[in-house]
Amino acid sequence: MADFSRRRLLGGGAAVLGAVGLGAAGAGVAVATRVSERMGANTVEPHGVHQAGIDTEPQAFATFVALDLRPDVDRAGVIGVMKVWAEDTRRLTQGVAALGDTEPELAVDPARLTVTVGYGSAAFDASASAAARPTWLRPLPSFDIDRLEDRWSGGDLLLQVCADDPVTVSHAVRTLTKSVRSRASVRWVQRGFRHAVGTRPDGLTMRNLMGQVDGTVNPQPATPDFDRQVWNAGEPAWLAGGTSLVLRRIRMELDTWDELDRPAKDLVMGRRQSDGAPLTGTAEHDDADFEMVDDHGIPVIPPESHVARARPRSADEQFLRRAYNYDDDGAGLLFAAYQGDVDRQFVPVQKRLAEHDALNTWTTPVGSAVFLIPPGYGPDGYPGDALLEN
């Protein structure tokens, strides 16, 4: 426990972290978060109470990679994978080539690179930690709307690699997967994008490929709401500061969606596509008024609209969305939701939407995966050290 506490402490704040010598390679790496005039030089701190890439302002590009552990990998093997990933992450996020990096010239522009590591259910069995596995770490219940394909679902481990440059993401994904290939094989890769940096004025909510403003009702990092929704409070204790990722690949049926006229689309959503405002309001961030009726007594926001069905019925039913567009192999949304407890926060909302949501006619879930995101780690730690070294 002494070691555990020291590690947590070291990981606990950027203020205590200075330049870190990286040993044999001799490269000094400043781990404090830096913002540069040149976008490519911007860095995000990899160490802390939480893993980076969740409360990080979303980067323009995200690649999600699921890996399966090879059958002979045991607890020591899982720890080995994690230590390699932590070391690669320390270096790559600061613009330093990984150890043994064969294309070090592709590592020099971190562009706010973050690497977020997740554990699938099977990683707990492999590491002889099944007793420590939260009950929510399992596939979601099956829903009638699902048309799930194995090639986009499941996985023993997750890498979420985000940056503002696609070459940086590509190189980091290759490096991280290559580093562990004796122990884990790639199960699927899903690539997502938002607007490139500089395309739009800062601070706008993203638009998805249906054209909708997507992600308006989201908690703001470093607020009590965010902390309550996203970070696990310690159930189980070792998970404090961690979270979960539910990744749903949601195909958009754009051809039929485009047959609707604009008023019909807005009624399906309960928001206006033009500015993202609820049908009862005038600006994107106005609260939706689900009680408002028109002159005929008809609700302005239809009860079967997406926003009406998605509306949380209790404070528990909230979580962080950090979605990305995809347009390979169909087009749609990589819907990434982060919450401290999947069963309590995510599942009730998804159940309600699956039972009825006007939008379901034009969206089809084709992939689904659930991962536990361990807490952050310090300069001597790795993702999951709180689980595997206590």
Catalytic machinery residues: 214
Three-state SS for 203-268 is CCCCECCCCCECCCCCCCCCCHHHHHHHCCCCCCHHHCCCEEEEEEEEEECHHHHCCCCHHHHHHH
User: Interface with its own copies includes 166 (CB under 8 A)?
Assistant: yes
Residue (of 266, 250, 251) closest to 321 by Cα position? 250
User: 303, 292 in Cβ contact below 8 A?
Assistant: no
User: Interface with its own copies includes 185 (CB under 8 A)?
Assistant: no
Taking contact as CB under 8 A, which single stretch among the options 67-75, 103-111, 115-123, 295-303 is the one that binds its own copies?
A: 103-111
User: Interface with its own copies includes 209 (CB under 8 A)?
Assistant: yes
Taking contact as CB under 8 A, which single stretch among the options 78-86, 193-201, 342-350, 380-388 is the one that binds its own copies?
A: 193-201
User: Interface with its own copies includes 215 (CB under 8 A)?
Assistant: no
**Mask of contacts with its own copies, 287-326, x by CB under 8 A?**
--------------------------------------x-
CA distance 380 to 93: 16
Provide, rounded to whole angstroms, the least separation between the CB of residue 273 and its own copies: 7
**Mask of contacts with its own copies, 58-87, x by CB under 8 A?**
--xx--------------------------
Secondary structure (DSSP) of 312-379:
-SSTTS--EE--EEE-SSS-EEEEEEEES-IIIIIHHHHHHHHH--GGGGGEEEEEEEEEEE-----T
Size of the site for its own copies (CB under 8 A): 47
Taking contact as CB under 8 A, which single stretch among the options 7-15, 198-206, 219-227, 371-379 is the one that binds its own copies?
A: 198-206
At 45, list the tokens.
Answer: 């701190």
User: 176, 140 in Cβ contact below 8 A?
Assistant: no
Contact residues: its own copies, CB under 8 A: 38-40, 60-61, 102-106, 109, 111, 164-168, 170-171, 173-174, 178, 189, 191, 193-201, 207, 209-211, 254-255, 257-258, 273-274, 325, 327-328, 331
